[in-house]
Amino acid sequence: MVLGDSSGGNPNPNPDANQAAAEDDTSIDVLARNIQDTLTVGKRHRFWETQPVGQFNDLGDSTLPEGPIEAPTPISEVKSDPYNLPALYEWTTCDMDDESTCAEVYNLLTNNYVEDDENMFRFNYSKEFLRWALRPPGYYKSWHIGVRVKSSKKLVAFITGVPARIRVRGDVVRMAEINFLCVHKKLRSKRLAPVMIKEVTRRVHLENIWQAAYTAGIVLPTPVTTCRYWHRSLNPKKLIDVGFSRLGARMTMSRTIRLYKLPEATVTPGFRKMELRDVAAVTRLLREYLGQFAVAPDFDESDVEHWMLPQENVVDSFLVENPETHEVTDFCSFYTLPSSILNNQNYSLLKAAYSYYNVATKTPLLQLMNDALIVAKKMDYDVFNALDVMHNESFLKELKFGPGDGQLHYYLYNYRIGNPLRPQELGLVLL
């Protein structure tokens, strides 16, 4: 889940980057110090310094309490009219149930959303994915916000929120997850992004929700944690051909293909696709597992049915059912987020699986995730991506994941966490 047009979840993270890249000192203190040192006073985060978010100057101040930064205001005092846009533009609410509107959103994102730093890849969220991501239980259509050109009605900008319950330490907080902030490339100088963020905030406040979660590939005030994507080649020849990765030193293509070769079949007895009848069991597994992390979603069965039940080319979930007792003991999942391959004559799409939520209680996590890689390979994915959150770090190197060169920063709006979290303390994956 990326707030802004930056390269969060970089589609081209170079999985063969030097191992040291994954072990740099990326503590929040160091990031904050580095970013402040490189910014002139006039270019500091003027917008974010006006918002109720953790500020760089607050780092290390133990007198500041954890929890909401600003108290809720009466709904009657929330601004009732939308914020003013430049004269040529107007607000629109994007109904994702409407095929033509969904197609407009898809085209805007496909042509203008997150690219890698070298402009070789751009995220390509499918229309099915967008509908899944934006219509969870209890969603608000009014939080799917677009900007149109008044004269042509062309959609040129987009931002969304969806409701979520997120537990921060011992408190379950109603939040909005903010995503898909996208401005047409030709309008990036119009300063639309800050007014769009203020407008989605206003609409969230109208539902008596005062906190939010979001991610970005750039450092803003102030990350609650910073994660790194790791990448496991499934189709190494294609990845090398399109420039996603490169041949290692003293490696040939045939040796590289052998290095990443996977077994033909999964090895765990009772490993199968999740079905509707499994929702209650998967919910129990997830709730117990996520309870150990400082920040994690508070899923109920309706959430699990929506987010985890398999949908073709959107999300895939597998579990381990004990063949004798029929107890569901383990769970793994990944979602599908392809990237358009730009300026390549032979390939147009990179099919990527992103690790979602995984719970291992009886099966070793290493074995469970290797089975996930096997099924992803059989489904023709080119690469399997995973953040170093939760317990993921325990399998990354062993299963031949390589560290990417981009970072993903997690943020909370109007909620302060006393000490920045390590990635392993985070139990939240944002799309």
Q: Which residues are catalytic?
A: 431
Phi and psi dihedrals of 9, rounded to 5?
65, 40
Can you read off the two tokens belonging to residue 93? 């609410």
Rg (CA), the chain: 21
CB neighbourhood size of 182 (10 A): 27
Q: Spell out the residues 6+ positions from residue 427 whose beta carbon is closer than 8 angstroms to its own.
A: 289, 290, 292, 293, 294, 295, 296, 297, 389, 390
Query: How would you class 149 by CB atoms within 10 Å of its CB: exposed for 0-12, middle for 13-18, buried for 19 or more?
Result: middle
Query: How would you class 159 by CB atoms within 10 Å of its CB: exposed for 0-12, middle for 13-18, buried for 19 or more?
Result: buried
| Residue type (1 letter), 255 | R
Phi and psi dihedrals of 214, rounded to 5?
-160, 170
Q: Which helix (H) or strand (E) holds 156?
A: strand 155-168
Q: Which helix (H) or strand (E) holds 304?
A: helix 301-308
